Amino acid sequence: MTDTMLYVGVYQGPEIPQSFRVYAENVQRFLPEHAIQVVPFADKRNIPASVDVLWDIRSGGGNPPPDFLLGRHLPPLVVTVHGFAPVTLNGWEYFRTVKGLIMARHYAKRKRAHWHEVHASVAAIIAVSAFVKEEAIEFTGLPCDKIHVCHHGADSGIFTPYPEVESEAYFLHISNGEPRKNINRVVGAFRRLRRSCNAQLVLKLPEHAARHYAGIDGVRVVAGLLTTEELADLYRRALAFIFPSLYEGFGMPIVEAMSCGCPVITSNVSACPEVAGEAGLIVDPRDEKALLEAMQLISQNPQARPERVAASLRRAGNFSWEKSAKCHADVLYIAAQTGR
């Protein structure tokens, strides 16, 4: 811990996605251990007057920080970048609406152009994975030495294994239901699996997505809110967590599942293999047959599951919010010293 307190104005803004909120709350819990005092604010009307650094926690979807954080008279600005999915994916793999599909290229071009207009006003970027760092180098115009990788963690008090809990015969998928989460291929592979296996598929989805999968043989849909403890219990009891996303800036559910001792089937694209490492079953997310074969491997070889559980727990040990907060603190101090 340093002798001098660093004051950080944290822009949290309206309508923060749940995953961003979990990230920010967990990192901020440990920042006081590094002599950092967080001063939250919600809009340009209440930017704190006496802070050393501003921190925008919510740059997702390829969006640059809002213009009101970029003034020359303001403290140095650090931006957490969660990903560039709509900039890199085909429109039909990201947008839910026809308008979004039609405008996809325009949106991507506009976001890239805006980043290049404002990048000189950003002191540093926190990329949530090495994958996102490479995209940030390509899309933002910031030099690589101003882009720092700080991985997420999982709440070690909640996402833990219970050795006495027996796994149940279901595969688990948890997501927000966006097209990039690849649920249709998950369901397609599962329906083929059901021809020779009695396993079930549990889908934890928001209400708007859940209704599309109700009534499918072997599929149990869980809609609405769950507590984190209930979520952890779903992970613990599953045969495996299946998360073949087309794009993840990090993929926090992968770490949550592994921390609970749940084997993971995930993608060979974006940040998923970086996070899952050798503990995961890594497949081409656009290949339904590959998804099926991974599910068959898990369901037909129960004697191999303890080894996969152990590998998942070892891999999960590489990620923690304490480590993440230390990484964030280092970047915030560097930004405060170097300025814009």
Angle at Cα 219 formed by Cα 217 and Cα 224, nearest 5°? Answer: 140
Question: Domain limits of the chain?
Answer: 6-153+320-338, 170-316
CATH 3.40.50.2000 for domain 170-316: yes
pLDDT band of 340, cuts 50, 70, 90: low
- Whole-Å CA distances, 235 to 24, 151, 161: 23, 21, 9
> What distance in Å separates the CA atoms of residue 7 and residue 5, rounded to the nearest whole number?
6
Of 56, 27, 60, 23, the C-alpha closest to 135 is 60
List, for residues 267-294, the tens digit of each pLDDT value.
999 999 999 999 999 999 999 999 999 9
Query: What residues contact residue 206 under an 8 Å CB cut-off, 6+ apart?
Result: 176, 177, 223, 224
Superfamily of domain 6-153+320-338: Glycogen Phosphorylase B; (3.40.50.2000)
Cα-atom radius of gyration of the chain, to the nearest Å? 21
Query: Taking the model in full, what pTM does it have?
Result: 0.95
Is the pLDDT at 223 greater than 90? The verdict is: yes
Mean local confidence (pLDDT), 293-315 = 93
| Residues in a beta bridge with 6 | 36
Helix (H, G, I), strand (E, B) or coil at 245: coil
Angle at Cα 79 formed by Cα 21 and Cα 109, nearest 5°? Answer: 105
Task: Tell me whether the CATH fold assigned to 6-153+320-338 matches the one assigned to 170-316.
Answer: yes
